[in-house]
Amino acid sequence: MGKYVLGVDLGTSAVKVSALDHSGQIVAQESFDYDLIQKQPGYNEQNPEDWVSGTTVAIVRLILNDHLAADDIEGLSFSGQMHGLVLLDENKKVLRPSILWNDTRSTPQREEIEAKLGDEFVDITRNQPLEGFTLTKLLWVKENEPDIWAKAKYFVLPKDYVRYRMTGNLAMDYSDATGTVLLDVAKGEWSQRICDVFDIPMSMCPPLIKSIDFAGTVTAAYAEFSGLNMDTKVFGGAADNAAGAVGAGILHPNMVLSSIGTSGVVLKYEDNADVNYHGVLQFEDHAIPDKYYSMGVTLAAGYSLSWFKKTFAPVDDFTEFVASAAKSTVGANGLLYTPYIVGERAPYADADIRGSFTGIDGTHQRYDFVRAVLEGIVFSFRDLFDIYEENGGDFDTVVSIGGGAKSPLWLQIQADIFNRKVVSLENEQGPGMGAAMIAAVGLGWFDSLQDCAETFVHFGKAYEPNPDNAAKYEKMHQIYKQVYQQTKGISEQLLDYRKAEL
Protein backbone atom coordinates (compact mmCIF):
# COMPACT_ATOMS: atom_id res chain seq x y z
CA MET A 1 0.00 0.00 0.00
CA GLY A 2 1.10 3.58 -0.68
CA LYS A 3 0.95 6.64 1.51
CA TYR A 4 -1.88 9.16 1.44
CA VAL A 5 -2.87 12.69 2.32
CA LEU A 6 -6.36 13.77 3.30
CA GLY A 7 -7.98 16.94 2.00
CA VAL A 8 -10.77 18.09 4.32
CA ASP A 9 -13.22 20.35 2.47
CA LEU A 10 -15.35 21.95 5.21
CA GLY A 11 -18.29 23.50 3.39
CA THR A 12 -21.52 25.19 4.46
CA SER A 13 -23.79 22.18 3.96
CA ALA A 14 -21.35 19.27 4.23
CA VAL A 15 -17.77 18.20 4.81
CA LYS A 16 -16.03 16.06 2.19
CA VAL A 17 -12.78 14.26 2.96
CA SER A 18 -10.67 13.00 0.04
CA ALA A 19 -7.70 10.65 0.23
CA LEU A 20 -5.05 11.15 -2.46
CA ASP A 21 -1.89 9.23 -3.26
CA HIS A 22 1.51 10.52 -4.41
CA SER A 23 0.32 10.75 -8.02
CA GLY A 24 -2.63 12.97 -7.12
CA GLN A 25 -5.22 10.24 -7.71
CA ILE A 26 -8.23 10.17 -5.42
CA VAL A 27 -8.29 6.70 -3.87
CA ALA A 28 -11.32 7.25 -1.63
CA GLN A 29 -13.78 9.97 -0.69
CA GLU A 30 -16.37 10.31 2.07
CA SER A 31 -18.74 13.10 3.09
CA PHE A 32 -21.14 14.03 5.88
CA ASP A 33 -23.99 16.54 5.79
CA TYR A 34 -24.96 18.94 8.58
CA ASP A 35 -27.70 21.49 9.14
CA LEU A 36 -28.07 25.25 9.20
CA ILE A 37 -29.63 27.04 12.16
CA GLN A 38 -31.93 29.79 10.89
CA LYS A 39 -33.65 31.48 13.81
CA GLN A 40 -35.08 34.28 11.69
CA PRO A 41 -34.63 35.79 8.21
CA GLY A 42 -31.02 36.81 7.58
CA TYR A 43 -29.66 34.64 10.41
CA ASN A 44 -27.45 31.69 9.41
CA GLU A 45 -25.60 29.76 12.08
CA GLN A 46 -24.08 26.31 12.64
CA ASN A 47 -22.99 24.29 15.63
CA PRO A 48 -19.19 23.91 15.44
CA GLU A 49 -19.48 20.49 17.04
CA ASP A 50 -21.27 19.34 13.86
CA TRP A 51 -18.14 20.16 11.83
CA VAL A 52 -15.95 18.14 14.19
CA SER A 53 -18.24 15.13 14.32
CA GLY A 54 -18.94 15.27 10.56
CA THR A 55 -15.24 15.41 9.70
CA THR A 56 -14.52 12.58 12.11
CA VAL A 57 -17.29 10.36 10.75
CA ALA A 58 -15.94 10.88 7.22
CA ILE A 59 -12.42 9.90 8.35
CA VAL A 60 -13.72 6.86 10.21
CA ARG A 61 -15.55 5.77 7.05
CA LEU A 62 -12.35 6.13 5.01
CA ILE A 63 -10.59 3.81 7.44
CA LEU A 64 -13.41 1.29 7.98
CA ASN A 65 -15.38 1.34 4.72
CA ASP A 66 -12.65 2.23 2.24
CA HIS A 67 -9.97 0.19 4.07
CA LEU A 68 -7.36 2.92 4.32
CA ALA A 69 -4.82 1.94 6.95
CA ALA A 70 -4.26 4.67 9.51
CA ASP A 71 -0.50 4.01 9.23
CA ASP A 72 -0.68 5.01 5.57
CA ILE A 73 -2.34 8.42 6.22
CA GLU A 74 0.70 10.66 6.63
CA GLY A 75 -0.98 14.05 6.90
CA LEU A 76 -4.02 16.18 6.26
CA SER A 77 -5.05 19.75 5.67
CA PHE A 78 -8.14 21.85 5.15
CA SER A 79 -10.24 24.00 2.92
CA GLY A 80 -12.72 25.94 5.01
CA GLN A 81 -15.86 27.96 4.51
CA MET A 82 -14.76 31.55 5.03
CA HIS A 83 -15.67 34.29 7.51
CA GLY A 84 -17.70 32.23 10.03
CA LEU A 85 -17.22 33.45 13.62
CA VAL A 86 -16.40 30.87 16.31
CA LEU A 87 -16.09 32.41 19.78
CA LEU A 88 -14.24 30.54 22.51
CA ASP A 89 -13.96 31.10 26.28
CA GLU A 90 -10.80 30.94 28.40
CA ASN A 91 -10.94 27.13 28.31
CA LYS A 92 -11.36 27.21 24.53
CA LYS A 93 -14.96 26.02 24.76
CA VAL A 94 -17.50 27.24 22.19
CA LEU A 95 -19.67 30.06 23.56
CA ARG A 96 -22.40 30.22 20.92
CA PRO A 97 -23.27 28.83 17.50
CA SER A 98 -21.02 30.06 14.70
CA ILE A 99 -22.36 33.03 12.71
CA LEU A 100 -21.75 32.10 9.06
CA TRP A 101 -20.54 33.93 5.96
CA ASN A 102 -24.09 34.22 4.56
CA ASP A 103 -25.55 35.80 7.71
CA THR A 104 -26.73 39.35 6.99
CA ARG A 105 -27.73 40.68 10.42
CA SER A 106 -24.71 42.98 10.85
CA THR A 107 -25.59 45.92 8.58
CA PRO A 108 -25.50 48.40 11.52
CA GLN A 109 -21.99 47.21 12.34
CA ARG A 110 -20.89 47.59 8.71
CA GLU A 111 -22.20 51.16 8.77
CA GLU A 112 -20.37 51.80 12.05
CA ILE A 113 -17.08 50.63 10.52
CA GLU A 114 -17.59 52.83 7.46
CA ALA A 115 -18.44 55.84 9.63
CA LYS A 116 -15.43 55.46 11.93
CA LEU A 117 -12.69 54.47 9.45
CA GLY A 118 -13.99 55.08 5.91
CA ASP A 119 -11.31 54.68 3.25
CA GLU A 120 -8.66 54.00 5.88
CA PHE A 121 -10.32 50.64 6.52
CA VAL A 122 -10.07 49.67 2.86
CA ASP A 123 -6.43 50.79 2.74
CA ILE A 124 -5.58 48.53 5.71
CA THR A 125 -7.62 45.45 4.83
CA ARG A 126 -7.97 45.92 1.01
CA ASN A 127 -11.66 45.08 1.42
CA GLN A 128 -14.98 46.70 2.20
CA PRO A 129 -16.47 45.84 5.62
CA LEU A 130 -19.27 43.70 4.20
CA GLU A 131 -21.80 41.92 6.40
CA GLY A 132 -20.33 38.59 5.33
CA PHE A 133 -16.93 39.26 6.91
CA THR A 134 -15.96 38.26 10.44
CA LEU A 135 -15.33 41.68 11.97
CA THR A 136 -18.95 42.80 11.55
CA LYS A 137 -20.05 39.60 13.31
CA LEU A 138 -17.64 40.21 16.19
CA LEU A 139 -19.07 43.70 16.64
CA TRP A 140 -22.64 42.35 16.47
CA VAL A 141 -21.96 39.96 19.36
CA LYS A 142 -20.16 42.70 21.27
CA GLU A 143 -23.15 45.02 20.93
CA ASN A 144 -26.02 42.53 21.18
CA GLU A 145 -24.76 39.72 23.42
CA PRO A 146 -22.64 41.43 26.10
CA ASP A 147 -22.72 38.40 28.41
CA ILE A 148 -21.22 36.23 25.66
CA TRP A 149 -18.70 38.92 24.76
CA ALA A 150 -17.54 39.20 28.36
CA LYS A 151 -16.59 35.50 28.33
CA ALA A 152 -14.97 35.54 24.86
CA LYS A 153 -11.19 35.12 24.92
CA TYR A 154 -10.47 33.85 21.41
CA PHE A 155 -12.05 33.75 17.97
CA VAL A 156 -11.29 31.45 15.07
CA LEU A 157 -12.91 30.46 11.77
CA PRO A 158 -14.59 27.11 11.03
CA LYS A 159 -11.65 25.04 9.76
CA ASP A 160 -9.42 26.49 12.49
CA TYR A 161 -11.76 25.15 15.16
CA VAL A 162 -11.71 21.66 13.62
CA ARG A 163 -7.91 21.83 13.43
CA TYR A 164 -7.79 22.90 17.09
CA ARG A 165 -9.92 19.91 18.08
CA MET A 166 -7.54 17.63 16.19
CA THR A 167 -4.27 19.08 17.48
CA GLY A 168 -5.03 21.13 20.59
CA ASN A 169 -3.37 24.17 18.98
CA LEU A 170 -5.15 27.41 18.07
CA ALA A 171 -4.05 29.17 14.89
CA MET A 172 -5.36 30.81 11.72
CA ASP A 173 -3.75 30.81 8.30
CA TYR A 174 -3.22 34.05 6.41
CA SER A 175 -5.77 33.37 3.66
CA ASP A 176 -8.60 33.01 6.19
CA ALA A 177 -7.23 35.86 8.31
CA THR A 178 -7.58 38.26 5.37
CA GLY A 179 -11.28 37.35 5.19
CA THR A 180 -11.84 38.49 8.77
CA VAL A 181 -10.99 42.06 7.65
CA LEU A 182 -8.95 42.42 10.82
CA LEU A 183 -5.64 41.83 9.05
CA ASP A 184 -3.29 44.56 7.87
CA VAL A 185 -2.60 42.98 4.48
CA ALA A 186 0.54 44.93 3.61
CA LYS A 187 2.13 44.28 7.02
CA GLY A 188 0.92 40.69 7.29
CA GLU A 189 -0.22 41.08 10.89
CA TRP A 190 -3.37 41.73 12.87
CA SER A 191 -4.32 45.40 12.69
CA GLN A 192 -3.72 47.16 15.98
CA ARG A 193 -5.48 50.21 14.56
CA ILE A 194 -8.75 48.38 13.82
CA CYS A 195 -8.68 46.53 17.14
CA ASP A 196 -8.13 49.80 19.01
CA VAL A 197 -10.91 51.67 17.22
CA PHE A 198 -13.47 48.95 17.93
CA ASP A 199 -12.16 47.92 21.35
CA ILE A 200 -11.28 44.36 20.39
CA PRO A 201 -8.47 42.88 22.51
CA MET A 202 -5.53 41.85 20.32
CA SER A 203 -5.27 38.76 22.52
CA MET A 204 -8.49 37.48 20.92
CA CYS A 205 -6.74 37.14 17.56
CA PRO A 206 -5.14 33.71 17.11
CA PRO A 207 -1.51 33.12 16.08
CA LEU A 208 -0.98 33.45 12.33
CA ILE A 209 0.49 30.59 10.30
CA LYS A 210 1.05 29.91 6.60
CA SER A 211 -1.20 27.46 4.82
CA ILE A 212 1.57 24.87 4.39
CA ASP A 213 2.87 25.29 7.96
CA PHE A 214 2.88 22.33 10.32
CA ALA A 215 0.13 22.92 12.88
CA GLY A 216 0.59 19.88 15.10
CA THR A 217 -0.02 16.16 15.27
CA VAL A 218 -3.26 14.42 16.19
CA THR A 219 -3.89 14.33 19.94
CA ALA A 220 -4.46 11.11 21.82
CA ALA A 221 -8.11 12.02 22.33
CA TYR A 222 -8.71 12.72 18.64
CA ALA A 223 -6.77 9.62 17.60
CA GLU A 224 -9.13 7.51 19.70
CA PHE A 225 -12.13 9.44 18.33
CA SER A 226 -11.14 9.18 14.64
CA GLY A 227 -8.93 6.12 14.26
CA LEU A 228 -6.01 8.24 13.02
CA ASN A 229 -2.52 7.70 14.41
CA MET A 230 -1.08 10.23 16.83
CA ASP A 231 1.83 10.87 14.45
CA THR A 232 -0.51 12.03 11.65
CA LYS A 233 0.66 15.52 10.71
CA VAL A 234 -1.84 18.38 10.38
CA PHE A 235 -1.13 21.49 8.29
CA GLY A 236 -2.65 24.96 8.30
CA GLY A 237 -4.95 24.80 5.30
CA ALA A 238 -6.67 27.65 3.53
CA ALA A 239 -9.89 29.54 2.95
CA ASP A 240 -12.08 27.75 0.42
CA ASN A 241 -11.42 30.24 -2.37
CA ALA A 242 -7.66 30.03 -1.85
CA ALA A 243 -7.76 26.23 -1.66
CA GLY A 244 -9.99 26.16 -4.74
CA ALA A 245 -7.45 28.29 -6.59
CA VAL A 246 -4.70 25.86 -5.62
CA GLY A 247 -6.78 22.88 -6.74
CA ALA A 248 -7.45 24.61 -10.07
CA GLY A 249 -3.77 25.39 -10.62
CA ILE A 250 -4.11 29.19 -10.23
CA LEU A 251 -0.53 29.44 -9.03
CA HIS A 252 1.09 31.78 -11.55
CA PRO A 253 0.62 35.49 -12.41
CA ASN A 254 -0.61 34.72 -15.94
CA MET A 255 -3.68 32.81 -14.74
CA VAL A 256 -7.26 33.75 -13.83
CA LEU A 257 -10.06 31.49 -12.59
CA SER A 258 -13.57 31.62 -14.06
CA SER A 259 -15.91 29.68 -11.78
CA ILE A 260 -19.59 29.37 -12.66
CA GLY A 261 -21.57 27.89 -9.82
CA THR A 262 -24.80 29.26 -8.37
CA SER A 263 -22.83 32.45 -8.03
CA GLY A 264 -19.81 33.21 -10.18
CA VAL A 265 -16.25 33.97 -9.17
CA VAL A 266 -13.40 35.57 -11.10
CA LEU A 267 -10.18 35.03 -9.17
CA LYS A 268 -6.71 36.25 -10.12
CA TYR A 269 -3.30 35.30 -8.74
CA GLU A 270 -1.50 38.39 -7.39
CA ASP A 271 2.28 38.38 -7.04
CA ASN A 272 2.38 41.09 -4.37
CA ALA A 273 0.19 43.43 -2.33
CA ASP A 274 1.09 46.57 -4.29
CA VAL A 275 -2.17 46.69 -6.27
CA ASN A 276 -5.21 48.24 -4.57
CA TYR A 277 -8.67 47.63 -6.01
CA HIS A 278 -10.19 49.98 -3.40
CA GLY A 279 -12.58 47.32 -2.17
CA VAL A 280 -14.35 46.85 -5.51
CA LEU A 281 -12.71 43.42 -5.67
CA GLN A 282 -11.85 41.37 -2.61
CA PHE A 283 -8.13 41.04 -1.96
CA GLU A 284 -6.89 38.06 0.05
CA ASP A 285 -3.74 36.22 1.05
CA HIS A 286 -3.18 33.12 -1.09
CA ALA A 287 -2.35 29.66 0.22
CA ILE A 288 1.05 30.17 -1.42
CA PRO A 289 3.31 31.83 1.17
CA ASP A 290 3.59 35.61 0.67
CA LYS A 291 1.35 35.59 -2.42
CA TYR A 292 -2.17 36.91 -2.87
CA TYR A 293 -5.31 36.64 -4.94
CA SER A 294 -8.11 39.02 -5.80
CA MET A 295 -11.64 38.07 -6.65
CA GLY A 296 -14.97 39.45 -7.73
CA VAL A 297 -18.35 37.78 -7.39
CA THR A 298 -21.36 37.74 -9.72
CA LEU A 299 -24.28 36.78 -7.49
CA ALA A 300 -26.46 35.03 -10.08
CA ALA A 301 -24.19 33.25 -12.56
CA GLY A 302 -25.28 29.63 -12.84
CA TYR A 303 -28.43 30.59 -10.97
CA SER A 304 -29.45 32.74 -13.95
CA LEU A 305 -29.32 29.72 -16.23
CA SER A 306 -31.08 27.38 -13.79
CA TRP A 307 -33.78 30.01 -13.18
CA PHE A 308 -34.35 30.46 -16.91
CA LYS A 309 -34.52 26.72 -17.56
CA LYS A 310 -36.82 26.03 -14.60
CA THR A 311 -39.15 28.82 -15.70
CA PHE A 312 -39.22 28.32 -19.47
CA ALA A 313 -37.99 24.77 -20.15
CA PRO A 314 -38.59 22.68 -17.00
CA VAL A 315 -38.82 19.29 -18.71
CA ASP A 316 -35.99 19.69 -21.22
CA ASP A 317 -32.71 17.83 -20.88
CA PHE A 318 -30.22 20.30 -19.41
CA THR A 319 -27.35 19.47 -21.77
CA GLU A 320 -29.56 19.76 -24.86
CA PHE A 321 -31.08 22.97 -23.48
CA VAL A 322 -27.64 24.61 -23.19
CA ALA A 323 -26.49 23.22 -26.54
CA SER A 324 -29.51 24.81 -28.26
CA ALA A 325 -27.70 28.16 -27.94
CA ALA A 326 -25.55 27.05 -30.89
CA LYS A 327 -28.58 27.66 -33.14
CA SER A 328 -28.27 31.38 -32.33
CA THR A 329 -25.46 33.71 -33.32
CA VAL A 330 -22.60 35.53 -31.63
CA GLY A 331 -24.43 38.25 -29.73
CA ALA A 332 -27.69 36.21 -29.64
CA ASN A 333 -29.11 38.03 -32.66
CA GLY A 334 -28.86 41.36 -30.86
CA LEU A 335 -30.33 40.19 -27.54
CA LEU A 336 -28.63 41.10 -24.23
CA TYR A 337 -29.19 39.64 -20.77
CA THR A 338 -27.90 41.17 -17.52
CA PRO A 339 -27.69 38.59 -14.69
CA TYR A 340 -28.71 40.87 -11.83
CA ILE A 341 -31.75 38.85 -10.78
CA VAL A 342 -30.78 38.80 -7.08
CA GLY A 343 -28.84 42.07 -7.05
CA GLU A 344 -25.10 42.27 -7.73
CA ARG A 345 -21.83 42.19 -5.81
CA ALA A 346 -19.06 43.22 -8.23
CA PRO A 347 -18.31 45.49 -9.87
CA TYR A 348 -21.64 46.95 -8.68
CA ALA A 349 -22.30 46.50 -4.96
CA ASP A 350 -26.04 46.96 -5.48
CA ALA A 351 -28.70 44.87 -3.74
CA ASP A 352 -31.53 46.64 -5.57
CA ILE A 353 -30.48 46.24 -9.21
CA ARG A 354 -32.46 43.65 -11.16
CA GLY A 355 -31.82 41.74 -14.37
CA SER A 356 -33.14 42.43 -17.84
CA PHE A 357 -33.39 41.20 -21.40
CA THR A 358 -32.69 44.10 -23.75
CA GLY A 359 -33.34 44.21 -27.48
CA ILE A 360 -36.17 41.65 -27.65
CA ASP A 361 -37.44 41.34 -31.20
CA GLY A 362 -40.40 39.46 -32.62
CA THR A 363 -38.02 37.22 -34.55
CA HIS A 364 -36.16 35.96 -31.45
CA GLN A 365 -36.45 32.27 -30.62
CA ARG A 366 -35.99 30.54 -27.30
CA TYR A 367 -32.47 29.50 -28.28
CA ASP A 368 -31.57 33.19 -28.65
CA PHE A 369 -32.62 33.74 -25.05
CA VAL A 370 -30.54 30.75 -23.92
CA ARG A 371 -27.54 32.16 -25.78
CA ALA A 372 -28.13 35.61 -24.30
CA VAL A 373 -28.12 34.15 -20.78
CA LEU A 374 -24.87 32.26 -21.40
CA GLU A 375 -23.27 35.38 -22.87
CA GLY A 376 -24.66 37.73 -20.21
CA ILE A 377 -23.11 35.71 -17.41
CA VAL A 378 -19.72 35.85 -19.16
CA PHE A 379 -20.14 39.58 -19.89
CA SER A 380 -20.54 40.11 -16.13
CA PHE A 381 -17.22 38.32 -15.68
CA ARG A 382 -15.70 40.46 -18.43
CA ASP A 383 -16.61 43.54 -16.35
CA LEU A 384 -14.21 42.20 -13.72
CA PHE A 385 -11.55 41.45 -16.32
CA ASP A 386 -11.76 45.11 -17.34
CA ILE A 387 -10.90 46.15 -13.78
CA TYR A 388 -7.80 43.96 -13.93
CA GLU A 389 -6.77 45.45 -17.27
CA GLU A 390 -7.27 48.99 -15.92
CA ASN A 391 -4.89 48.10 -13.07
CA GLY A 392 -2.21 46.67 -15.33
CA GLY A 393 -3.15 43.02 -14.93
CA ASP A 394 -1.37 40.86 -17.49
CA PHE A 395 -2.72 37.33 -17.94
CA ASP A 396 -3.21 35.04 -20.90
CA THR A 397 -4.90 31.90 -19.52
CA VAL A 398 -8.35 31.46 -17.96
CA VAL A 399 -9.10 28.25 -16.07
CA SER A 400 -12.82 27.53 -16.25
CA ILE A 401 -14.49 25.39 -13.59
CA GLY A 402 -18.05 24.63 -12.55
CA GLY A 403 -21.02 24.69 -14.90
CA GLY A 404 -19.27 26.84 -17.49
CA ALA A 405 -16.65 24.12 -17.99
CA LYS A 406 -19.17 21.38 -18.79
CA SER A 407 -20.25 22.80 -22.16
CA PRO A 408 -17.83 23.10 -25.12
CA LEU A 409 -20.03 25.89 -26.49
CA TRP A 410 -19.88 27.84 -23.24
CA LEU A 411 -16.12 27.36 -23.02
CA GLN A 412 -15.74 28.81 -26.51
CA ILE A 413 -18.03 31.73 -25.60
CA GLN A 414 -15.76 32.45 -22.63
CA ALA A 415 -12.65 32.35 -24.81
CA ASP A 416 -14.25 34.74 -27.33
CA ILE A 417 -15.63 37.22 -24.77
CA PHE A 418 -12.47 37.19 -22.64
CA ASN A 419 -10.33 37.16 -25.82
CA ARG A 420 -7.97 34.75 -24.06
CA LYS A 421 -7.20 31.06 -24.01
CA VAL A 422 -9.62 29.12 -21.80
CA VAL A 423 -8.86 25.68 -20.37
CA SER A 424 -10.88 23.31 -18.20
CA LEU A 425 -9.70 20.68 -15.72
CA GLU A 426 -9.69 16.96 -16.39
CA ASN A 427 -9.90 16.19 -12.67
CA GLU A 428 -11.92 19.04 -11.20
CA GLN A 429 -12.20 18.47 -7.45
CA GLY A 430 -12.31 22.02 -6.17
CA PRO A 431 -11.09 23.12 -2.73
CA GLY A 432 -10.65 19.56 -1.45
CA MET A 433 -7.92 18.99 -4.04
CA GLY A 434 -6.21 22.19 -2.90
CA ALA A 435 -6.38 21.06 0.73
CA ALA A 436 -4.75 17.74 -0.15
CA MET A 437 -2.05 19.56 -2.13
CA ILE A 438 -1.29 21.75 0.88
CA ALA A 439 -0.80 18.62 3.00
CA ALA A 440 1.40 17.03 0.32
CA VAL A 441 3.67 20.09 0.21
CA GLY A 442 3.69 20.37 4.00
CA LEU A 443 4.89 16.77 4.23
CA GLY A 444 7.68 17.47 1.77
CA TRP A 445 6.28 15.33 -1.04
CA PHE A 446 6.85 18.40 -3.24
CA ASP A 447 8.97 21.53 -2.87
CA SER A 448 6.12 23.93 -3.58
CA LEU A 449 2.45 24.09 -4.49
CA GLN A 450 3.50 24.89 -8.06
CA ASP A 451 5.55 21.69 -8.18
CA CYS A 452 2.66 19.74 -6.71
CA ALA A 453 0.27 21.13 -9.32
CA GLU A 454 2.38 19.65 -12.11
CA THR A 455 1.50 16.20 -10.75
CA PHE A 456 -1.95 16.76 -9.20
CA VAL A 457 -3.64 19.22 -11.61
CA HIS A 458 -4.46 18.16 -15.16
CA PHE A 459 -5.72 20.64 -17.75
CA GLY A 460 -8.02 19.55 -20.56
CA LYS A 461 -8.58 20.96 -24.02
CA ALA A 462 -7.59 24.58 -24.65
CA TYR A 463 -10.15 26.87 -26.33
CA GLU A 464 -8.55 29.71 -28.28
CA PRO A 465 -10.50 32.89 -29.06
CA ASN A 466 -11.89 33.31 -32.57
CA PRO A 467 -10.71 36.80 -33.66
CA ASP A 468 -13.92 37.62 -35.55
CA ASN A 469 -16.11 36.52 -32.65
CA ALA A 470 -13.94 38.37 -30.14
CA ALA A 471 -14.35 41.61 -32.14
CA LYS A 472 -18.14 41.20 -32.21
CA TYR A 473 -18.28 40.46 -28.50
CA GLU A 474 -16.18 43.51 -27.75
CA LYS A 475 -18.88 45.67 -29.39
CA MET A 476 -21.65 43.84 -27.54
CA HIS A 477 -19.87 44.24 -24.22
CA GLN A 478 -19.65 47.99 -24.70
CA ILE A 479 -23.44 48.02 -25.07
CA TYR A 480 -23.84 45.61 -22.13
CA LYS A 481 -21.91 47.97 -19.83
CA GLN A 482 -24.48 50.72 -20.45
CA VAL A 483 -27.45 48.64 -19.29
CA TYR A 484 -26.67 48.85 -15.56
CA GLN A 485 -26.90 52.65 -15.42
CA GLN A 486 -29.92 52.71 -17.72
CA THR A 487 -31.90 50.25 -15.59
CA LYS A 488 -30.72 51.16 -12.07
CA GLY A 489 -33.45 53.71 -11.35
CA ILE A 490 -36.14 51.55 -12.95
CA SER A 491 -35.12 48.54 -10.84
CA GLU A 492 -35.38 50.59 -7.64
CA GLN A 493 -38.83 51.86 -8.58
CA LEU A 494 -40.08 48.38 -9.40
CA LEU A 495 -38.76 47.02 -6.11
CA ASP A 496 -40.56 49.82 -4.25
CA TYR A 497 -43.73 48.91 -6.13
CA ARG A 498 -43.44 45.23 -5.21
CA LYS A 499 -42.84 46.05 -1.56
CA ALA A 500 -45.87 48.32 -1.52
CA GLU A 501 -48.02 45.61 -3.11
CA LEU A 502 -46.87 43.09 -0.50
DSSP 8-class letter at 430: T
Terminal Cα-to-Cα distance of the chain (whole angstroms): 64
The vertex-246 CA angle with 245 and 247, nearest 5°, equals 90
Other CB atoms closer than 10 Å to residue 169's CB: what's the count?
17
Alpha-carbon separation of residue 126 from 184, 185, 189, 282, 464 (angstroms)? 8, 7, 13, 7, 33
d(CA 62, CA 51): 17
Q: Given 9, 173, 240, 368, which residue is catalytic? A: 240
d(CA 74, CA 369): 51
List of residues 6+ apart from 488 with CB closer than 8 A: 350, 352, 353
Specify whether the CB–CB gap between 391 and 293 falls below 8 A.
no
| Catalytic (active site) residue 361 | no
DSSP per residue, 287-326: SSTT-EEEEEEETTSHHHHHHHHHHH-TTS-HHHHHHGGG
Residues linked to residue 463 through DSSP beta bridges, in sequence order: 422
Specify whether the CB–CB gap between 111 and 53 falls below 8 A.
no
Specify whether the CB–CB gap between 213 and 169 falls below 8 A.
no
The vertex-321 CA angle with 382 and 357, nearest 5°, equals 50
Other CB atoms closer than 10 Å to residue 491's CB: what's the count?
18
Question: Cis ω on the peptide bond leading into residue 347 (within 30° of 0)?
Answer: yes
Q: Helix, strand, or coil here: 297?
A: strand
DSSP 8-class letter at 180: T
Three-class secondary structure assignment of 327-369: HCCCCHHHCEEECCECEECCCCCECCCCCEEECCCCCCCHHHH
d(CA 173, CA 176): 6
Strands (E), 21-164: 26-33, 45-46, 73-80, 86-88, 98-99, 154-156
Specify whether the CB–CB gap between 295 and 248 falls below 8 A.
no
Residue 286 in marked binding region: no
Residue of 246, 235, 269, 259 lying closest to 434 (CA atoms): 246
Q: Are strands 255-260 and 264-270 parallel, antiparallel or unpaired?
A: antiparallel
- Angle between the 134-144 and 107-117 helix axes, to the nearest 10 degrees? 110
d(CA 304, CA 492): 20
Residue 82 in marked binding region: yes
Residues with catalytic roles = 240
Which residues does the annotation place in the binding site? Answer: 82-83
Q: Which residues are annotated as a binding site for substrate?
A: 82-83
